[in-house]
Chain A
Amino acid sequence: MTEYFGTTVADIFATMPKRFKPEEAKEVDIAIGYEATGEGGGKWKATIKHGTLKVETVEGELTDCKTTIHTDAETFVGVTLGMIGALDALSSQKLRVAGDPKFLMLLLPKIFTPYVAPAKKPDAVTARDIIATLAERFRPEKAEGVAMTIGYDLAGEGGGRWTIIIRDGKCAVREGLADPLTVKMTMEAKTYAGMMVGTIEAVTAFTSGQVKIEGDMAAAGATAKYFRKYVVPGATEAEELISLRVTNSIEQRFATGPVMGRWFAGIREKKFLANRCPKCGRTQIPPREICAWCRVRVHEFVEVGPKGVVTHFDIVYFASPDPLTGAVRDTPYATVYVVLDGATEREAITVDLKKEDIPRLKEGARVRPVWAEVTTGSYRDLIGVELDEEEGSL
């Protein structure tokens, strides 16, 4: 069932009997037809007669209704929740009433308690839900004299691209990214949602690199104060509890030196470069200056791979949370040990296997590397491996 503003048309009708106030409807005798078009829509008929209510879904034509309401499913939910003004919807023809609209607008609030969207778990709220409430949460008094355009590029489920325009004490939300932007923030949609509902600390998300900010940093930091805090629909206000959070960000620099540097230089060119011990002949991966077995200096570089064979593997179904961020990896994931073609047996590399290939993973399977779109000479260049089935695996 398609959701709008965090709820469905069907739920509004399903809760009607619960919200009905019979004592207020003693004098009422009316049948109201509803037609909500689009995904998640349908036809319903509510018959109110001397303090009783009957709600039914209707297939085909709505008959014997004194008045009928025609609208699209999204507008219907929006108007019911008060997110969209009923008069606006009427004047823009998004909502049409056959019969007397004024009469309905007076009657319905009298005989029904207002509909409240079902409580959602904070993690069920999507970035899209939250962006939809931005304009309504805007605080013009805090944004006097502010003129900026903020771009959000939110990847993944419930994400999208939006531009928030703040100017002359007004706020507008548009789909897509405008150009130029005062500041652009790029992150996973679920990171954004987590920050808004309070399960992810903004500072942590930023310092751990989960949020990318381009443009005016100060503007990015100031945006929060132009909006009231997002509240999860149906959530009850909990007692305030104090929790102090401090995030230390540690910059790290790792110098490879000339020998291991060759490995990363190779990676940048999508090649695996090992160095071969002149005494025992093993191919060291990553290359080291000295073979620790033979205690001799190693000079000769050889290219190995790029394909290889899986010697053994781990499939993880229950991932432990990252102790630093609390984030949990998508499961299952597989870590495979790959001996690259031409490499000696003990010098396996440990990499992730493409998720779709996990069901067909076997020991001895042939794999090929999956490279990042842009390789920079970093350990991030090699995303992982995938099964090399064209060649025929075991």
Chain B
Amino acid sequence: MTMQEDHKDCFVLEGKMALPNQNFAGRLGSRFLIAIRDRKKIMGLKCNPCGKTFVPPREYCEKCWTKIADNWVELGTEGELVNFTVVRYGDRHLPKKPPYILGQIRLDGADTPLTHIVEGIDPRDVESGIRVKAVFAEKTTNTIMDIDHFEPV
């Protein structure tokens, strides 16, 4: 049986849906980002009993649970690349075009590494242990991308 179809009553209903997403950086995260944005400085939080300095900031020391939220210390904008990977696939949500180096940088004065992008060196030549320095973004966005990237010293 063939269907007799009359299309005169076919409708297309249009709709629009907004999906708002919100990510709160937190009180410490905000201070950390604002220091980068306004003063071009990278700040860490130091636990005096352990002598360890954390970056990105955290409210409590992971070892001794001392509250360190107010014990800000300024770190260097240079550091050592302690680990890295090379991102080779592209996707809309990624900050750079592949291939790029995603590195872990232990800044001078810090005990924990900060993850960021390393540029200015070919992914084939990069190796752990090189010295890198932060290059701050000219146009700030209130994100960690206010450090645009790190590059070899």
Q: Which residues of A contact B (CB under 8 A)?
A: 201, 204, 207-209, 239-258, 261-262, 264-265, 324-325, 377-379
Q: Determine which of B13, B20, B22, B29 lies in contact with A253 in the assembled complex, contact meaning CB atoms within 8 Å.
A: B13
Residues in chain B near residue A209, CB distance under 8 A: 16, 18
Within residues 23 to 64 of chain B, which ones have a CB less than 8 A from any CB in chain A? 23-25, 27, 29-30, 33-34
**Closest Cβ–Cβ distance, residue A242 to chain B (whole Å):** 4
A247 and B17 in contact, given A239-B27, A242-B25, A255-B10 (Cβ under 8 angstroms): no
Tell me whether B143 and A264 are in contact (CB under 8 A).
no
Residues in chain B near residue A256, CB distance under 8 A: 9-13
Residues in chain A near residue B27, CB distance under 8 A: 239, 241
Known: A243-B24, A253-B13. 5 other contacts (CB 8 A): A209-B16, A209-B18, A251-B16, A252-B15, A253-B15
Residues in chain B near residue A250, CB distance under 8 A: 16-19
Residues in chain A near residue B7, CB distance under 8 A: 258
Q: Which residue of A lies closest to B23 (CB)?
A: A244
**Closest Cβ–Cβ distance, residue A142 to chain B (whole Å):** 18
The reply on B2 being an interface residue by CB < 8 A is no
Residues in chain B near residue A247, CB distance under 8 A: 18-21
Q: Which residue of B lies closest to A266 (CB)?
A: B9
10 tightest A-B CB contacts, nearest first: A261-B9, A252-B15, A208-B18, A207-B18, A242-B25, A242-B30, A256-B11, A204-B20, A254-B13, A265-B9
Q: How far is the CA of A264 from the CA of B16 in the complex (A)?
A: 19
Q: How far is the CA of A325 from the CA of B20 in the complex (A)?
A: 7
**Closest Cβ–Cβ distance, residue B39 to chain A (whole Å):** 13
Q: How far is the CA of A243 from the CA of B21 in the complex (A)?
A: 10
The reply on B70 being an interface residue by CB < 8 A is no
Q: Determine which of B9, B20, B29 lies in contact with A245 in the assembled complex, contact meaning CB atoms within 8 Å.
A: B20
Residues in chain B near residue A261, CB distance under 8 A: 9-11
A258 and B22 in contact, given A241-B30, A250-B16, A252-B14 (Cβ under 8 angstroms): no
A244 and B143 in contact, given A256-B11, A258-B6, A265-B11 (Cβ under 8 angstroms): yes
Q: How far is the CA of A41 from the CA of B50 in the complex (A)?
A: 66
Tell me whether A252 and B33 are in contact (CB under 8 A).
no
